[in-house]
Amino acid sequence: MPFARVIWIVLDSVGIGEMPDAAEYGDTGSDTLGNIAKRRKLDLPNLCSLGLANIKPLANLPPVASPAAAYGRCALASPGKDTTTGHWEMAGILLEKPFPLYPGGFPRQIIDEFERRIGRSAIGNCAASGTEIIERLGGHHLRTGSPIVYTSADSVFQIAAHEDVIPLWELYKICETAREILHGPHEVGRVIARPFTGQPGAFTRTANRKDYAVPPPKGMLLDRLAENNVAVHSVGKILDIFLSRGITDYDKTKSNADGMAKTLEAMDHTREGLIFVNLVDFDMLYGHRNNVEGYARALEEVDRWLPAFQEALQPGDLAIFTADHGCDPTTPSTDHSREYVPLLVYGPNAKPGVCLGTRATLADIGQTVAGNFATSIPKGESFLPLVKPA
């Protein structure tokens, strides 16, 4: 193996410019990193030292003469721009059609069947921020016991319920029922339990979220690694996206800061194999809420963490930083955006300064990881020969 351990970090929604077909998705002009940099001066010296600003011009972030990492960008070859599509493509699964979205709420026949099978009426049935809809409908939910159904820019059917009104075991059962109903043309990427506690005006979502994803097709990256007895430690929502397949150990996270801390902890005890990380705050807290300042601070938080991460790297490590799609907080839309994603590949003994160009698919990353561990996946072209030690 060229590298004994790979640490793969997905900066959720940190896109780096619109793709050629962005107009088909209503995303003309979207550029998550670029537009934030224009609006608010970013302090990202460590990411820039790796080569972030060498990928494309970014306001007030000059490129460096000798990037410490290999650098480039990836296109999303699959149709769509959601979490499941991006992560599945990384693992070698290219979709022929996107997962369905419901910006106007779910069809009446879906809701009718859902209510009939769970024995409760539902409220909401719209696209909304999770915190906003709980504040708006939480009191009604407390009075009636009706679960709150909502969706987002992702292909998701989310169900919010107060833990004192609908206990967790029942909420999870309700989600399982929804997962059974949502198949065929209405097969959303994920059904998500969103429990909360508290009183009107002070509701708080709990850490008992649970995702019910569509099972990925067999033969994707994590299946191949399991066949080769490669340890995989997931941090964040990777576990839920891939339904635990091929994952030998995991950490759930509460925030980016928690995810970064748990990544370092995982590096202490997972000495070989893959550590697969998703840092979701960019998307969940800032992109969908058009919070430019919050997004900028989150980027700078990762940048400040990088020296500690680099210090923890071993000579045989390879670190990969990328994203799954965009979510430009500077545009009127609060949806995901159809963008290229950055690609930074770094290791103490990896070749620095290599321009990886524009990769045709996110599956190139998965193919690189697969090749490192002596296997392969159905899609993608490995860039391992460009970065491995001579």
Asked if residue 140 is part of any domain, the answer here is yes
Q: Are 124 and 149 in contact (CB under 8 A)?
A: yes
Which burial class, exposed, middle or buried, applies to 255 when counting CB atoms under 10 A from its CB (0-12, 13-18, 19+)? middle
Q: Are 323 and 342 in contact (CB under 8 A)?
A: yes
Q: How many CB atoms are located within 10 Å of the residue 204 CB?
A: 10
Residue 18 is predicted with a pLDDT of 98
The domain of 378 spans 5-97+216-387
Residue 385 is predicted with a pLDDT of 97
Least confident of 133-137, 151-155, 385-389: 151-155
Asked if residue 102 is part of any domain, the answer here is no
Write the pLDDT tens digit of every residue in 271-318.
999 999 999 999 989 998 899 999 999 999 999 999 999 999 999 999
Q: Are 360 and 50 in contact (CB under 8 A)?
A: no
Write the pLDDT tens digit of every residue in 348-373.
999 999 999 999 999 999 999 999 99
Write the pLDDT tens digit of every residue in 47-74.
999 999 999 999 999 999 999 999 999 9
Residue 390 is predicted with a pLDDT of 76
Q: Are 270 and 249 in contact (CB under 8 A)?
A: yes
70 & 164 share domain: no
122 & 78 share domain: no
Q: Name the H helices within 119-204.
A: 130-144, 168-181
Mean pLDDT of the chain: 96
What is the domain-level CATH number for residue 204? Answer: 3.30.70.1250
Domain final residue pick, 184, 213, 242? 213
From residue 58, give the alpha-carbon distance in Å to each of 43, 55, 140, 297, 325: 12, 9, 46, 17, 18
Q: What is the mean pLDDT of residues 11-20?
A: 98
Domain final residue pick, 151, 180, 213? 213
Q: Considering all CA atoms of the chain, what is the largest pairwise distance in Å, rounded to the nearest integer?
A: 67
Task: Quote the tokens at residue 353.
Answer: 């300064």
Asked if residue 151 is part of any domain, the answer here is yes
Asked if residue 103 is part of any domain, the answer here is no
Write the pLDDT tens digit of every residue in 192-226.
999 999 999 999 999 898 989 899 999 999 999 99
Residue 205 is predicted with a pLDDT of 92
Q: pLDDT confidence of 248, banded at 50, 70, 90?
A: very high
Question: What are the DSSP calls for 341-352, one per residue?
Answer: EEEEEE-TTSPP
How many whole angstroms separate alpha carbon 319 and alpha carbon 352?
12
Residue 154 is predicted with a pLDDT of 81
Asked if residue 201 is part of any domain, the answer here is yes
173 & 304 share domain: no
Q: What is the mean pLDDT of residues 5-24?
A: 97
Residue 200 is predicted with a pLDDT of 94
Over 80: is that where the pLDDT of 153 sits? no
221 & 82 share domain: yes
Asked if residue 44 is part of any domain, the answer here is yes
Asked if residue 251 is part of any domain, the answer here is yes
22 & 145 share domain: no
Q: pLDDT confidence of 170, banded at 50, 70, 90?
A: very high
Number of domains into which the chain is organized: 2
Strand 317-322 versus strand 341-346 pairing type: antiparallel
Higher pLDDT, 153 or 204: 204
222 & 208 share domain: no
